[in-house]
Amino acid sequence: MELIGINFSFVFWGFLAALSEFIGAIFLIMGFFTRLTTVLLAGTMIVASIATLHANGDYTAFSHPAKMVIVFVALAITGAGKFSLDQIIHQKL
């Protein structure tokens, strides 16, 4: 977190990253709050890609979190799809 200018509450930010990855994966599978979830996961992967690039300077290790950022941004743009919980809830409203 120091790499992006956040110099406080490292445990809190680590907990938020772990929570967004765990709960975010479950929500993404179910198609629930898809756009919000993908934005949070993309933010986590941006920090992971910065940390990976700074730690060893290896572009092959950097490429996986960078690819995941692209995937999450694409999912945020397209949405969950017609078989998701978001769509089912939206149709009932």
pLDDT in tens, the chain (93 residues): 666 677 787 888 888 889 999 999 999 999 999 999 999 999 999 988 888 888 777 777 788 899 999 999 999 999 888 889 988 888 876
pTM for the predicted model, two decimal places? 0.82
Tokens standing for 70?
């692209």
Q: Among 22, 23, 20, 1, which Cα is nearest to 10's?
A: 1
In terms of residue numbers, what domain contains 37?
Answer: 2-92
* CB-CB contact of 17 with 44 (8 Å): yes
Give the chain's domain count.
1
Taking the C-alpha atoms of residue 23 and residue 53, their distance in angstroms, rounded to an integer, is 26
The two structure tokens encoding residue 35: 């756009």
